């Protein structure tokens, strides 16, 4: 009998052999379907089924309104942490107070003041230093005044600085050095002297415990000697800095150079670099009346005092009248150029006599007036341009010393009016002297040539004139030489010469017979008589 096949195994799909991977895949699909159906049922329960215009359906769910009052969450901060923080803050505050009291007590006592004065002497090589009312706080240090004195072997005699202030870092109290941006003094004075030779070797300076970026004085007066008439640089702003190569550099600006019997000059800026055996300097002087006029001083100052210290001088568009001074500047005006001047200081002379200034110059336009000889030349030739002579090509040498002012090697030329050669000297007391050789074009002498003139030579007749008197009322001997050839001075001639000084555009005719007042700045006949006295 044949066996009957088991149909149950064929009809039941669960009996099929299925791999483990397939079983896991079926389980995942089942879970997804289950979650999808549950989510769909949940959305249906929370919203409503709507049909869109295109026929699709969607479930519209209402948005939940935000509750106005949220349940307060319980603080999870440990209460002990708050007390720990408060305790740390309190301890820090107490330590800060204690540290401040410690700083005030320690650094405002006599011991610290004496140590600071001793350190100043050690660093500067001075004999003594005295601080007045030194006050130190955790963030700054102040002093009303510091006085420093050196011996006779130093270039510096004494120095004094007022209202000193230094902003210091708090870390300075935990280190060996004082650290900050700069130490500033509001005013100060510094007296220099010629050092006397010393047989003792220079002591090495101590390593400075100060680490400041700069040491500055806003208004310093620098005097070359302690005499009342000693040369000085007043009201200069000075800053001392240390370069990367450990050299010291002094930067200065905005001062006034004051030398007895010399005109004051404005010091605009300068740099002084200190070296072991010398100091390199470059300074710029500016004009008070011209924005472009300047004089440059440049050179090296040796430590050796056996020879004079000398600086090279150059001038660009500098008004000559500012170098000549107020009185002499009335006679000669114009801008000069120079590239080969010198400014020297002789250590073997007294400070008030040690300075000398030598400046060879040239100019394309110089004006000269105020000497009586110009009035006599006008009478002789009838040329009113002699009232104020314009020289178009001029050279000479300007020299200033303690004895006075000298203009030498004068060579002024106006080929159609006048040439001038010679020298002019003004002593320190104002006495005027000198000899000038004047050249008048031969075209002015068509008939008779006055006997004192010689020539012609190169188209000019020449005559020597000696200057005398003083700088306020100068005189010369031209009138005495030409007296037989000069006619009587008439009022019309004086008026004609006066009108030559007035620009044409200022001349206006009076209306209705009224007398026209003289324009402001226009010279009168009385002024002309003062300028050219008879």
Between the alpha carbon of residue 261 and those of residues 62, 314, 353, 403, 405, the distances in Å are: 102, 22, 11, 9, 9
**Runs of H (alpha helix) within 410-524:** 478-482, 491-500
pLDDT at residue 258 in the model: 87
| Nearest C-alpha neighbor of 502 from the set 488, 516, 514, 489 | 516
Torsion of CA 330, 336, 338, 344, to 10 degrees: 20
- Give yes or no for a contact between 463 and 451, defined as CB atoms under 8 angstroms apart: no
Question: Is the peptide bond preceding residue 272 cis, with omega within 30 degrees of 0?
Answer: no
Measured at the CA of 425, the angle between CA 419 and CA 427, to 5 degrees, comes to 160
Strand-pair partners of 202: none
Coil, strand or helix at 482: helix
pLDDT at residue 130 in the model: 92
How many Å from the N-terminal Cα to the C-terminal Cα in the chain?
A: 178
Question: CA–CA separation, 382 vs 375, rounded Å?
Answer: 10
- 0.85 surpassed by pTM: no
Between the alpha carbon of residue 29 and those of residues 13, 22, 34, 42, 461, the distances in Å are: 18, 11, 9, 20, 131
pLDDT at residue 1 in the model: 42
**Runs of H (alpha helix) within 216-343:** 320-324
Instruction: Give a three-class secondary structure readout of 99-126.
Output: HHHHHHHHHCCHHHHHHHHHHHHHHHCC
pLDDT at residue 213 in the model: 87
Strand-pair partners of 220: 188, 236
- Give yes or no for a contact between 533 and 473, defined as CB atoms under 8 angstroms apart: yes
pLDDT at residue 111 in the model: 87
| Nearest C-alpha neighbor of 455 from the set 443, 466, 439, 444 | 439
Ranges of residues in the chain whose predicted pLDDT is under 50: 1-14, 488-498, 501-528, 533-534
What tokens does 320 get?
A: 């000559």
Name the pairing type of β-strands 210-224 and 178-192.
Answer: parallel
Polymer length in residues for the chain: 534
Question: CA–CA separation, 216 vs 210, rounded Å?
Answer: 14
- Give yes or no for a contact between 160 and 132, defined as CB atoms under 8 angstroms apart: no
What is the helix, strand, coil percentage profile of the chain, to 5?
25, 40, 35
- Give yes or no for a contact between 215 and 182, defined as CB atoms under 8 angstroms apart: yes
Between the alpha carbon of residue 136 and those of residues 122, 139, 343, the distances in Å are: 21, 8, 45
| Nearest C-alpha neighbor of 134 from the set 120, 153, 154 | 120
pLDDT at residue 485 in the model: 78
Question: CA–CA separation, 76 vs 8, rounded Å?
Answer: 65
Question: CA–CA separation, 332 vs 323, rounded Å?
Answer: 11
The DSSP secondary structure of 213-230, one letter per residue, reads: EEEEEEEEEEEESSSTT-
pLDDT at residue 521 in the model: 43
pLDDT at residue 511 in the model: 47
| Nearest C-alpha neighbor of 445 from the set 473, 409, 485 | 485
Question: CA–CA separation, 333 vs 389, rounded Å?
Answer: 11
Helix (H) or strand (E) holding 162: strand 156-168
């Amino acid at each position: 009998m044949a066996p009957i096949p088991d149909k149950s195994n064929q009809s039941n799909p669960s009996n099929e052999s299925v791999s483990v991977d397939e079983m896991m895949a079926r389980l995942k699909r089942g879970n997804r379907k289950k979650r999808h159906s549950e989510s769909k049922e949940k959305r249906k329960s929370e919203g409503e089924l709507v049909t869109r215009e295109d026929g699709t359906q969607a479930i519209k769910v209402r948005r939940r309104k935000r509750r106005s009052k949220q349940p307060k969450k319980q603080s999870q901060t440990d209460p002990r942490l708050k007390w720990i923080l408060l305790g740390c803050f309190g301890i820090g505050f107490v330590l800060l107070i204690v540290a401040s009291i410690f700083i005030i007590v320690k650094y405002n006592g006599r011991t610290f003041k004496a140590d600071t004065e001793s350190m100043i002497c050690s660093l500067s090589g001075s004999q003594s230093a005295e601080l007045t009312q030194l006050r130190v706080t955790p963030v700054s240090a102040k002093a009303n005044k510091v006085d420093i004195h050196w011996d006779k072997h130093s270039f510096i005699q004494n120095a004094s600085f007022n209202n000193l202030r230094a902003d210091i870092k708090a870390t300075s109290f935990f280190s060996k050095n004082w650290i900050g941006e700069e130490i500033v003094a509001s005013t100060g004075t510094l007296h220099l002297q010629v050092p006397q030779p010393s047989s003792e070797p220079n002591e090495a300076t101590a390593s400075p415990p100060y680490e400041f970026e700069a040491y500055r004085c806003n208004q310093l007066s620098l005097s070359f000697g302690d005499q009342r008439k000693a040369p000085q640089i007043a009201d200069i702003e000075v800053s001392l800095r240390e370069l990367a190569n450990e050299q010291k550099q002094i930067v200065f600006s905005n001062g006034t150079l004051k030398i007895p019997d010399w005109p004051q000059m404005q010091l605009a800026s300068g740099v002084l670099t200190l070296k072991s055996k010398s100091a390199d300097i470059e300074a710029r002087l500016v004009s008070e009346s011209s924005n472009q006029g300047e004089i440059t001083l440049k050179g090296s100052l040796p430590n050796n005092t056996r020879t004079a210290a000398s600086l090279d001088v150059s001038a660009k568009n500098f008004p000559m009248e500012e170098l000549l001074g107020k009185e002499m500047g009335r006679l000669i005006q114009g801008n000069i150029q120079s590239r080969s001047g010198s400014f020297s200081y002789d250590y073997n002379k007294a400070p008030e006599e040690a300075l000398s200034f030598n400046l060879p110059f040239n100019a394309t336009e110089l004006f000269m007036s105020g000497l009586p000889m110009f009035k006599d030349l006008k009478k002789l030739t009838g040329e009113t341009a002699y009232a104020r002579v314009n020289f178009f090509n001029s050279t000479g040498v300007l020299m200033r010393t303690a004895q006075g002012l000298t203009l030498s090697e004068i060579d002024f030329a106006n080929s159609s009016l006048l040439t001038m050669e010679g020298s002019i000297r003004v002593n320190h007391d104002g006495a005027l002297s000198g000899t000038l050789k004047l050249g008048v074009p031969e075209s002015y002498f068509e008939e008779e040539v006055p006997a004192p003139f010689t020539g012609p030579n190169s188209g000019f007749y020449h005559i020597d004139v000696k200057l005398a008197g003083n700088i306020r009322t100068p005189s010369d001997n031209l009138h005495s030489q030409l007296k037989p050839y000069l006619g009587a001075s008439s009022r019309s001639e004086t008026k004609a010469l006066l009108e030559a000084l007035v620009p044409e555009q200022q001349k206006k005719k009076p209306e209705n017979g009224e007398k026209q007042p003289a324009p402001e700045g226009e010279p009168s006949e009385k002024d002309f008589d003062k300028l050219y006295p008879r």
